[in-house]
A = this chain, B = another copy of it.
Amino acid sequence: MPTPHYGQPRYRTIADELRHRIENGIIQPGALLPAESTLTAEFQASRGTIRQAIAALREEQLVTTEHGRGTYAHTPQHKSRIDKEIETETLQRQIPADPELASLFEVELGTALFEEQILTRRNGAVETVTRLYRVR
């Protein structure tokens, strides 16, 4: 079995197709892409090639991949609109580092971290909760 790749490489063609689906909402923002095994079947390509295509999308910041979970499509929302209807509430406190934060900050599990929590409300209902962590 030869492996010709005249012109455009296969993994790039696949990446282009997946990008198209994400940008056109065929794959919803935040949704999981089909599993590698599924894509393997659909594109009739080896898993390595599929992974190469996904790696290309990852470099474009178009998707993120989580071990054992899957690959998520990004939301193309770069809207920095400031809505005046939105009320915010801010709260500051200290919390112990959970395993993930401890790992990210490279501190011991349970180390006190500085946390700022910002609520945004629309019509009274909480719309988003933002938590910002820093080492103290």
Residues of A within 8 A of B (CB): 30, 59, 61, 64, 66, 69, 72, 74-75, 90-93, 101, 104-106, 114, 119, 125-134, 136
Contact = CB atoms under 8 A, between A and B. Distances in A.
Contact of A30 (B59, B105, B114): B114
Copies of this protein chain in the complex: 2
A131 B134 contact: no
A75 B116 CA distance: 10
30 contacts: A30-B92, A30-B114, A30-B136, A61-B90, A64-B90, A64-B91, A64-B92, A64-B93, A69-B93, A72-B92, A72-B93, A74-B90, A74-B92, A75-B92, A101-B129, A104-B119, A104-B126, A104-B129, A105-B126, A105-B129, A106-B125, A106-B126, A127-B134, A128-B134, A129-B132, A129-B133, A130-B130, A130-B133, A131-B131, A131-B133
